[in-house]
Amino acid sequence: MLVSALLTSLGINLGLCILFITLYSVLRKQPENIRVYAPRLVAEQKSQQRRVFDIERLLPSTGWVRRAWQTSEDELLSKSGLDAVVFMRIFIFSLRVFSFAGIVGICILLPINYLGDQLNGIDFSDLPSKSLDVFSISNVKNGSKWLWVHFCAAYLFSGFVCFLLYQEYENISSKRLSYFYLSKPQPHQFAILVRSIPLSSGRSFGDSVESFFMEYHSSTYLSHWVVHRTKKLQGLIRDAEKQYKRLTRLKSSDHTSQNLRRNGFLGLFGQTVDIVDHYEKKLEELEQNLRIEQSAASFTGKEVSAAFVCFKSRYGAAVALHIQQSDNPTQWVTEEAPEPNDVYWPFFSTTFMTAWISKFVVIVATIILTILFLIPVVCVQGLANLTTLESFLPFLKKILTIAFVSQVITGYLPSLILQMFLLIVPPIMKFLSSIQGYVSHSQIEKSACSKVLWFTIWNIFFANVLSGSVYGQLNVLLDPKNIPMRLAVAVPAQASFFIAYVVTSGWTSLTSELARVIALITDFIGRHCSNKANDEFHGPYIPYDSDIPKILFFGLLGITYFLLAPLILPFLLGYYCLGYIVYRNQVSKVSITFRLHLITLCSFYHIEAKFWVNRISIFASVS
């Protein structure tokens, strides 16, 4: 990619970022958009809407940036919980790492790379029309005496990151322990989930559980609840929760004149009734049906081989959790009991072998999806190379001679198309994780996060590197001696593509999330075209399965190109700074609650620590 193409991509994305930020700073002040830009405050009934017209509402401002920046960690902890604090610490850690890397890379390594003369025939007076390779290590001669600077920088960077990892992980561990000490004991902490319960002849699952734990855990065992299979109960619970939210929302509003509606189809037909009384009666009917169904499920519902077992103390539950309960490891399988609002019911009745087979099938499906995704990646890389594009589409040769068109196609279009393809990956991975046998939404989210991370590494990093420079050169791949040399040339050559990818997938994606254009349009249609707009309100969640893999993948790019092409580091720093401000604002005003819970999010941080240690160890060994 030429320098001019990269500058074109930066200009387009920077313009989009400014547009989204300006839209947010104006639209967030409009009273009718309060449910879009401050749903958390609406849910907590802390929103103060100003109905009086003020010219200041139409002018963009940056006050939200100052408030997001000045929010302390203690305030974030009291408002949003430890989950939000741990999530934001990922950005703080990344900022520290790449601030150090940026100083070393831009001030020391970049001038050495630029002043090299490995790439003959480079005219620095016409730099915009030249390749970005002049800023990479490819421009340093083989055997140059200046390479010792790169090696020293590699080991210095590795030691600094390991020190920060130790310090950060110790900080998070202490916060987690203090959280458990200060918080009240929760019911799920006294229980475990037991699956694959063996069924004895003439005895029910409940009798087997009681006799087993009375025999082996008699001093700590308290009670148990066997899971029953029922189809209607879960639907009734969802309907009751929905009616309760509608009723709460209506009672909290002062517009009593809007509570008179028709109870027919879409509010257009039927009798005119008080909607509050109507929902109260429906909620009472649902509660009555719910009690009847619960009683029926307890007596006539089919038992499954799973049960929640409660103990007298958390210590007793922890002991039963970590001890193998049977000589047969496929029976009496124990795991932590999920929180009541985190339970995922469909797979409670799966056996050990069924769960193992489903995991194997999901792994195979993930691999097949990863391989199939190589097709759009190769096509996108073809767009980044004008020669390849002209050979496949010769009718575009005249159009590609226009400088601006060629710059947009090679600089902006590849990363944009790739980003659009990537939007469908997190939902697919979440679906695959949901059929893997997990019994909580947190486990599903964590599994989907890991799948998306490795999918991104293989398909965005390795596939782009190989398809961009080694693809089609099978004679090189058949000669193993030339593979390291070719990769040494291929990886720096893709630096320009990844810079454009960071700007498109990072900067523009963050500011579009801030503006919430889709949510704004949906809310507008709901307010003007649906009678239920004032009743139903659902706050958004932070999508961990797509955001955390993106953060870690950008960290991989920073580690890889710290030595090879340090020009990417300022753009990464820009992404982490922007993400720090945007997510602090979203956590404080937009996100109703975090879907993941403390243990799972700390597990995410453990995944990140292992990710960084593995990358640094490989980085140091290769250097």
Strand duo 272-274 + 260-262: pairing: antiparallel
- Indicate whether 168 belongs to any domain: yes
pLDDT score for 326: 84
Cα 382 to Cα 101, 166, 432, 568: the distances in Å are: 32, 42, 30, 22
pLDDT score for 387: 55
Residue 47 has pLDDT above 70, yes or no: no
As a whole number, mean pLDDT of residues 462-470 equals 62
Q: How confident is the model at residue 103 (pLDDT cuts 50, 70, 90)?
A: very high
As a whole number, mean pLDDT of residues 436-452 equals 86
- Mean of per-residue pLDDT scores for the chain: 75
- Indicate whether 213 belongs to any domain: no
- Indicate whether 227 belongs to any domain: no
Residue 469 has pLDDT above 80, yes or no: no
- Indicate whether 161 belongs to any domain: yes
Give 556-578 pLDDT, tens digit per residue.
Answer: 888 888 888 888 899 999 999 99
pLDDT score for 530: 56
Residue 449 has pLDDT above 50, yes or no: yes
Residue 302 has pLDDT above 50, yes or no: yes
Q: Which two tokens mark 150?
A: 């790169």
- Indicate whether 406 belongs to any domain: no
- Indicate whether 336 belongs to any domain: no
pLDDT score for 345: 80
Q: How confident is the model at residue 524 (pLDDT cuts 50, 70, 90)?
A: confident
Residue 4 has pLDDT above 50, yes or no: yes
- Indicate whether 22 belongs to any domain: yes
| 13 exposure class (CB count in 10 Å sphere: 0-12, 13-18, 19+) | buried
Give 524 or 307, the one with higher predicted confidence.
307
The C-alpha torsion from 161 through 166 and 171 to 175, rounded to 10°, is 120
* Total domains, the chain: 1
As a whole number, mean pLDDT of residues 71-87 equals 82
Residue 621 has pLDDT above 50, yes or no: no
**Whole domain around residue 602: which residue ranges?**
3-182+437-622
Give 492-522 pLDDT, tens digit per residue.
Answer: 777 777 887 888 788 888 888 888 888 888 7
d(CA 7, CA 408): 10
pLDDT score for 207: 86
Residue 289 has pLDDT above 80, yes or no: no
Residue 275 has pLDDT above 90, yes or no: no
> Which residues are paired to 213 by β-bridges?
none
Residue 123 has pLDDT above 70, yes or no: no
As a whole number, mean pLDDT of residues 40-56 equals 64
Residue 156 has pLDDT above 70, yes or no: yes
- Indicate whether 392 belongs to any domain: no
